[in-house]
Structure 1
Amino acid sequence: MTLHATSADRLADPAVPQLDVAAELLALLGDTTTEPRPDTQLEALTLAVAADLPVLLWGEPGIGKTAALTQLAESLDLPLTTVIASVHEPSDFSGLPVVGDDPAVQGVPMAPPDWAVRLVRAGRGLLFLDELSTAPPAVQAALLRLVLERRVGALTLPPGVRIVAAANPRSSAADGWELSAPLANRFVHLQWTHDHDVVVRGLGGTWPRTSLPRLDQRLLSDAVAYARRAVCGLLAARPALVHRLPNSETRRGGAWPSPRSWDMTLRLIAFATAAGASREVLSLLVRGTVGDGPGLELLASLDRLDLPDPETLLADPASAVLPERGDLRQAVLDGVVEAVRNRPDQSRWDAAWAVLVRALETGAPDLVVVPAATLAALRDDGWTVPAQIERLAGVVALSRQADLAAERTPVGAGR
């Protein structure tokens, strides 16, 4: 490969300073383009920032956490202020005492650091607390008030300031510490990973450009009602999930359920719903706030929250729209049978059979076997057998024959 003629001439010209040539080469390396590409991680981060919740990005060194924050700040048109938490003293966040003329009367004010003053003057910005896992416990304690109350010394950060932190796992952090449980429970924890294709294309000169999620103003009221119904419904059924402090120190430094983190989860569900976010984005946010176990339970309950009402299906079986997923379809059919059990009469019993026939026509036959057998057992002696039952009789009989054959087959046969 040959150098461009102009670059070769400049290199050969001893009158051209070498640093100028180096600057030209650096400019060429920085001359890149962008292309649209969805980014689930960045969408989750954007929604959490929009919800005015502190976010903590977990990832190995060099994974691109700072680059993501820079892109987010540019996209939101927010000035970025970076503070390396591990190189600061506790007083840098709680404020430095300044003795006045008459401290016995006026007290001793706590002077804030210059970066906090700049944020207050600007009225808006993105505060990036980097290297949080290398901050000693005394600094973490001083950060509690900043993260929760947004106070630094005597100053209160304005509503236009958002807080994002980054940390490396203790195994890869220089002199790392586990996060204290009170500090960890104030963050939305997002695991930050790299995408191989994005890195390769970016080094080749084309970096991704992500369209950030936008809130639909028409959906705000419904989004709030949906979020409240989802969280309150789960916690009413599972009271043990309201507060569960992990036993190990490592897990206490991550996401775990508490009244505070459930309140954050409710807010995130509302924002994700109003933005029409994907299931993947919602999963990252929910599991990053209350932990994997409770988060997955909430996601499962959200699936059932959107299931059709059994009474609606019984009122118009011919128009029944059943879920595609097998577990959700099974739950709907069980709900229809239970509705008939709670209020049995001939018309409702007939309508339930029509729903089962609809399920047989649009999905896997084996899903109707148990509901059909249960529904048949609910028949009153005076009820006539509907014609639809003939279409289900073969499926139930075939299932029973298969079960009997399985029982007759000796264990280990055919091996």
Structure 2
Amino acid sequence: MRSSIPSVTPATPHHTELDVAADLLTLLRDTATEPRPDIQLEALTLAVAADLPVLLWGEPGIGKTAALNQLAAALDLPLTTVIASVHEPSDFAGLPVVGDDPAVQGVPMAPPDWAVRLVRAGRGLLFLDELSTAPPAVQAALLRVVLERRIGALRLPAGVRIVAAANPRSSAADGWELSAPLANRFVHLQWTYQHETVVRGLGGTWPRAALPRLAPQRLPEAVAYARRAVCGLLTGRPALVHQMPNNEARRGGPWPSPRSWQMALCLTAFATAAGSSREVLSMLVRGTVGDGPGLELLASLDRMDLPDPETLLAAPATAELPERGDLRQVVLDAVVAAVRERPDRARWDAAWTLLVRALETGAPDLVVVPATTLAALRQPDWDVPAAIERLTGVVSLSRRADRVAAAAGSGR
């Protein structure tokens, strides 16, 4: 008889259905990042680099929390998330702990465990989520956390950055308007989704957050530039120094105060040193002092960047004029004003040469008003320069158009 030898089946690892599901989830979470321009991320990282508290406003599900997780990972900062709406005021102000002799030692305020972990780490990203659902008492307790960086008896180290997120009251669960004192301590950034970013991210590649590269040689210049811009604006517009809105909803957003102007100055210096775009700077300054004052500051910065009229009059044939029409108009008007203030034949001729250059390099209608004003400054003994011939057609055409428009308006 032949003895039967049982066959041996090789051992295979035993996988449960949950193990397979876990493998699938791992693959789904395996995403990459790439350097890609994103003005929202750049504005956020600039404010984080400047050590200013940031508040991201956006509808639910738009990616605020995901952006903070990605930011913490990119900057190699441990992330501590605190849901403000589920905490009591004492969780931020500290709980009183009675010691051996409170009459002598006092009663210290014990901080929560997450604050102790941040202090021990010495660095990190404190994420205050759902801020607009925190009741007024909790918002009041957060004032000291955001401004003084104190939680109970602890002070957060310099390596900790603070970022918060909130939904508009219309879409927040049992939402509250942000109190004016708390709102004025934040840089407010409107967080929206970008179609291409979402599609590419769902495909596995998200934009990479990175701290701005500040040019060391530009730091003193950036500070002087920011101070000159903010101080110049507020000198001419003193009413902008402090304007707390009357409307409760608007008080929960950015508005001008000495504190928020200091933040705007700081961010202007950081954006200048980093060579950031005007779009990024616009988001930041409007997020600190509000849309109106922020746009006035941007206009002030534009005027600071304009060339000196005397420099243009010294070399009109090779002068570089701004590309933007509104700035070019300001420059041409300034040149004519400079000639009016100190008129002489050479300066008058140089201004005509400059107007011809403006005609050749930009919209013809921008030279009409300066040319008309400059022509009125001619003295009897000044010969008409040849350059005027090139501008005559533009000015006369503009005047005819004005007469036609006036006639059409009177006939209605």
The TM-score bracket by the shorter chain reads over 0.9
Which residue is equivalent to 2:142? 143
Q: Deviations over 1:74-107 (max 9, x none)?
A: 1111111111111111111111111111111111
Which residue is equivalent to 1:177? 176
Alignment of 1:234-383 (within 5 A): 234-383=233-382
- Is 2:94 aligned against 1:113? no
Q: 1:329 to 1:117 in 2, by over 3 A?
A: same
Q: Aligned letter for 2:53?
A: P
CA distance in 1, matches of 2:14, 2:113: 44
Which residue is equivalent to 2:83? 84
Which residue is equivalent to 2:9? none
Report the alpha carbon displacement of residue 41 of structure 1 after superposing the two structures with TM: 0.6
SS at match of 2:30: coil
Report the alpha carbon displacement of residue 212 of structure 1 after superposing the two structures with TM: 4.4
Q: Deviations over 1:154-182 (max 9, x none)?
A: 11111111100011111111111101000
Which residue is equivalent to 1:188? 187
Which residue is equivalent to 2:227? 228
Which residue is equivalent to 1:201? 200
2:74 touches 2:208 (CA, 8 Å); kept in 1? no
Q: Structure 2: which 5+ runs fail to align?
A: 1-11
Alignment of 1:58-69 (within 5 A): 58-69=57-68
Q: Aligned letter for 2:192?
A: T
Report the alpha carbon displacement of residue 380 of structure 1 after superposing the two structures with TM: 2.4
Which residue is equivalent to 1:46? 45
Report the alpha carbon displacement of residue 411 of structure 1 after superposing the two structures with TM: 5.4
CA distance in 2, matches of 1:163, 1:211: 17
Which stretch has the larger CA shift, 70-79 or 199-208? 199-208
Report the alpha carbon displacement of residue 410 of structure 1 after superposing the two structures with TM: 5.6
Report the alpha carbon displacement of residue 31 of structure 1 after superposing the two structures with TM: 3.0
> What is the count of residue pairs matched by the alignment?
401
CA distance in 2, matches of 1:62, 1:409: 54
Q: 1:257 to 1:143 in 2, by over 3 A?
A: same
CA distance in 2, matches of 1:147, 1:361: 54
1:38 touches 1:210 (CA, 8 Å); kept in 2? no
Which residue is equivalent to 2:408? 409
Report the alpha carbon displacement of residue 398 of structure 1 after superposing the two structures with TM: 2.1
1:86 touches 1:135 (CA, 8 Å); kept in 2? yes
CA distance in 2, matches of 1:64, 1:230: 34
Report the alpha carbon displacement of residue 208 of structure 1 after superposing the two structures with TM: 3.1
Report the alpha carbon displacement of residue 378 of structure 1 after superposing the two structures with TM: 1.6
CA distance in 1, matches of 2:201, 2:360: 49
1:38 touches 1:211 (CA, 8 Å); kept in 2? no
Q: 1:281 to 1:401 in 2, by over 3 A?
A: same
Which residue is equivalent to 2:4? none
CA distance in 1, matches of 2:237, 2:155: 37
CA distance in 1, matches of 2:57, 2:50: 19
Report the alpha carbon displacement of residue 342 of structure 1 after superposing the two structures with TM: 1.4
Q: Deviations over 1:137-159 (max 9, x none)?
A: 11111111111111111111111
CA distance in 2, matches of 1:212, 1:49: 8
- RMSD value over aligned CA atoms? 1.7
Which residue is equivalent to 2:6? none
SS at match of 1:57: strand
Report the alpha carbon displacement of residue 394 of structure 1 after superposing the two structures with TM: 2.4
Q: Deviations over 1:3-50 (max 9, x none)?
A: xxxxxxxxxx99532221221222222233444422111110000000
SS at match of 1:127: strand
Q: 1:163 to 1:382 in 2, by over 3 A?
A: same
With the length of structure 1 as denominator, give the TM-score of the two structures: 0.93
1:356 touches 1:368 (CA, 8 Å); kept in 2? yes
2:49 touches 2:212 (CA, 8 Å); kept in 1? no
Which residue is equivalent to 2:157? 158
SS at match of 2:206: strand
CA distance in 2, matches of 1:399, 1:194: 45
Which residue is equivalent to 1:71? 70
Q: Deviations over 1:109-130 (max 9, x none)?
A: 1111111111111111111111
SS at match of 2:81: strand
2:45 touches 2:209 (CA, 8 Å); kept in 1? no
Report the alpha carbon displacement of residue 305 of structure 1 after superposing the two structures with TM: 1.5
CA distance in 1, matches of 2:305, 2:331: 11
2:45 touches 2:210 (CA, 8 Å); kept in 1? no
Q: 1:365 to 1:118 in 2, by over 3 A?
A: same
Identity %: 82
CA distance in 2, matches of 1:16, 1:364: 73
SS at match of 2:381: coil
Which residue is equivalent to 1:6? none
CA distance in 1, matches of 2:171, 2:109: 35
Q: 1:198 to 1:412 in 2, by over 3 A?
A: farther
Report the alpha carbon displacement of residue 374 of structure 1 after superposing the two structures with TM: 0.7
Q: Aligned letter for 1:166?
A: A
Which residue is equivalent to 1:215? 214
CA distance in 1, matches of 2:404, 2:373: 22
CA distance in 2, matches of 1:314, 1:49: 44
CA distance in 1, matches of 2:176, 2:387: 66
Report the alpha carbon displacement of residue 210 of structure 1 after superposing the two structures with TM: 4.5
SS at match of 1:409: helix
Q: Structure 1: which 5+ runs fail to align?
A: 1-12
CA distance in 2, matches of 1:190, 1:67: 15
Which residue is equivalent to 1:99? 98
